[in-house]
Amino acid sequence: MKSLSEIETTSKRASRAVGFSWGIAEEVGKCIRLLELFGFPGIKNLNQYYQNKNKENFENLKLINQNNKSNKSAFCPIILGVSFLDQIKTLEPLKKCTFQGIAYPLLLLPFLSRSSEIIGKKILFKFDENEFLLNFNVNIYSNFLKKEFPLIAKNVEVIFLENKDTFNDIEWKNLYKLSEDTFVEESDSLKQGAAGAGLTDND
C-alpha cells in the first residue's frame, strides 16, 4: 500500500509534468492525498483526467461568479479548485454558486473541503442528484458511495451552510441542568488546595 506521502509527491510531480506550475502542482498533491485519506479514488480520477486533458482542452475558470457557464468544453477542476481556494472569502457571502459543466468533479472535492476549513462553515456540493457535505476538512459525508464518478458534472451547486446547533434550547437546558450536579461550591480549603495556591515557594 502506498503511503500518503508517496501519493502526494507523485501527484505533485505528475501535475508539473503535464504543464501546471509548481505552485498549482503542490496544491494538487495535497488534494489527492486528501481524497485518498477520505477513501475516494483520487489517483484513478487524476490519471483519467491527465490522459484526456490535452485532447479535451478544458476551460480554465479563474474568476468565479455566482452563476458560471462554460463557453466551450467543461471547466478544468484543478484551475477551478485553485481559484475557489483563492477567492473563498469573497464567494462565501454569495451563499451559493452554480456551475454548468465541470470535468472530473471528484477532483474539485478536496479544494472545497479545504475551503470549508478556511471559512469555518460546512459546504454542500451537489451535482446531478448527488450530494457531498464537507465538514471543515475533517470528513466528507456523501450519498455517492460505491458509485462510479462521472467524467462531467452537468449542473453543479456549491452551497455555503450557516452554522447551526443540531439540538434545540430545551434539550440544551436539560443537559446543562444535569451537568450542574457536578459543580462543587468553592470553599476556603478548595482555594488553598488549587493549583498555584500554595503558601510557600519551593523555587
User: Which range has the top average pLDDT, 29-38, 125-134, 146-155, 175-184?
Assistant: 29-38
Instruction: Read off the C-alpha cell for 23.
Output: 505552485
How many other CB atoms are found less than 10 A from the CB of residue 100?
Answer: 14
Whether 99 has a pLDDT exceeding 80, the answer reads yes
pLDDT (0 to 100) of residue 70: 87
Dihedral of CA 102/107/111/112: which sign?
A: positive
pLDDT (0 to 100) of residue 107: 98
- Radius of gyration of the chain, Cα coordinates, nearest whole angstrom: 23
pLDDT (0 to 100) of residue 191: 59
Dihedral of CA 28/130/145/92: which sign?
A: positive
Distance CA 58, CA 65 (A): 18
pTM (two decimals): 0.86
pLDDT (0 to 100) of residue 144: 77
pLDDT (0 to 100) of residue 87: 98
Side chain identity at 135, as an amino acid letter? N
Distance CA 45, CA 104 (A): 7
* Listed residue (138, 140, 55) closest to 103, CA to CA: 55
Distance CA 139, CA 14 (A): 26
pLDDT (0 to 100) of residue 30: 98
Distance CA 185, CA 190 (A): 9
